[in-house]
Amino acid sequence: MSEMPTKYDAEPAVIEQLIRGDVSNVPREALLRYIFTFCERVGISPLAVPFSLMKTQAGMRLVANRNFYDAVASKYSVSRECVGEGFFEGTKLYFTRYRATTPDGRVTEDMALVDTAGLNGNDLANAIMKAHTKGRNRATRAHLGFPFPDETEAETVAGATVVSIEEMPNGHDGEPQQEEAGPKLEPPRASREQIKRIHAVAHRLGMDENAYRAYLEQRFGVRSSKSLTAEQADELIQELSRLWREREQDPEQSQEAETQTLQLLVEQSHESARNHGAHVSPVDANNHLEQLGISKEDVRAWRKAWVEAWGDGTAFNRIAISATSRDEFIQAMRHSGVRITNTLGGV
């Protein structure tokens, strides 16, 4: 397998704009020089047209396309295999999970989601094919660590379109435009109440952590609901609620899984009351889990995964202290969408 380069040469002005996420002020010639240099460094041909531009309200962003990911996969001997696909939990979300491997033994998995609501025939087939393209590209990107977004993510950004490099305006002599005077107002962030509602509907849908975070990243380009704006949070709540309504109409839904998920929702909705009432300390919760046969290392891993997913360990303490067996605790974690990898107390 070819060795990955460790340094890419480029003009400072281009690098600055790439970091800012907007190359609209970079002269076309300077951007082309960067692309040619980058392709030379990583060992692929720029004639394959491996990059495009994503136009958004915020400007233009350099994005990699399928040609890029196929080329680097071939160059660095990345084998990509689909290890799972289908409609998610009775909704119209179609997922693909791809595994990327290299001869050095490294393995990386990533998944992609596509909303197929209202699609049929050729449109549905194209959406499924797009899910496979996304899955392959995301697994390749995660495995090799390239910084460029995938152009298929453009559909998740409001008003975004993908254009060729040739359609790029020639910038402003390489100099960034002067920003308008005065403070730049940031849009308000998602409120705590909005985040709770998002988690609640995600719980109802039975989304595990990977699916939940993949949906956030593909839809809004973030990995946590705390990074959403208030407007995005409202939009996400509406989308997840629509998916939940579709799921309610499915007569074959498992009542047992739904009941267990709703029990977790009740726990979350009464979190505030518990904080003022029967408080469970982390020490007591950890000791109880260790008595159930879960090692200290696994307890720490479970707690860390929970906090990263839901942002507060209070509910974790309650679930831990109420568990009567190791299997019951792990089942509760699974239904909450929390996972840890390959340990004695994990999944």
Strand ranges of the sheet holding 161-163, from the earlier edge strand across to the other edge: 59-64, 51-56, 161-163
Asked if 165 and 28 touch (Cβ cutoff 8 Å), the reply is: yes
Which residue type, as a one-letter code, is found at position 323? A
Strand 93-101 and strand 79-87: the pairing is antiparallel
Q: Are 332 and 319 in contact (CB under 8 A)?
A: yes
**Rounded Cα gap, residues 344 and 208, in angstroms:** 20
Cα–Cα distance between 346 and 305 in angstroms, integer?
11
Domain ranges of the chain: 12-63+153-167, 72-144, 190-247, 277-347
pLDDT in tens, the chain (347 residues): 445 444 445 566 666 766 667 787 788 788 888 888 888 888 888 887 888 888 887 788 888 888 888 999 999 999 999 999 998 777 888 889 999 999 999 999 998 888 888 888 888 888 888 889 888 988 998 898 887 778 877 777 777 788 887 766 654 444 444 444 445 556 788 888 888 888 888 887 777 777 787 778 767 778 888 888 888 888 888 888 877 777 666 545 444 444 444 444 444 434 433 443 345 778 888 888 888 889 888 888 888 887 776 666 777 787 888 788 888 888 777 766 677 764 444 44
3-state secondary structure of 184: coil
- Rounded to whole angstroms, how far apart are CA atoms 3 and 139? 19
Taking each helix axis from N to C terminus, what angle separates 66-75 and 121-144, rounded to the nearest 10 degrees? 50
CATH number of 72-144: 3.30.390.80
- Answer whether 282's CB lies under 8 Å from 303's CB: yes
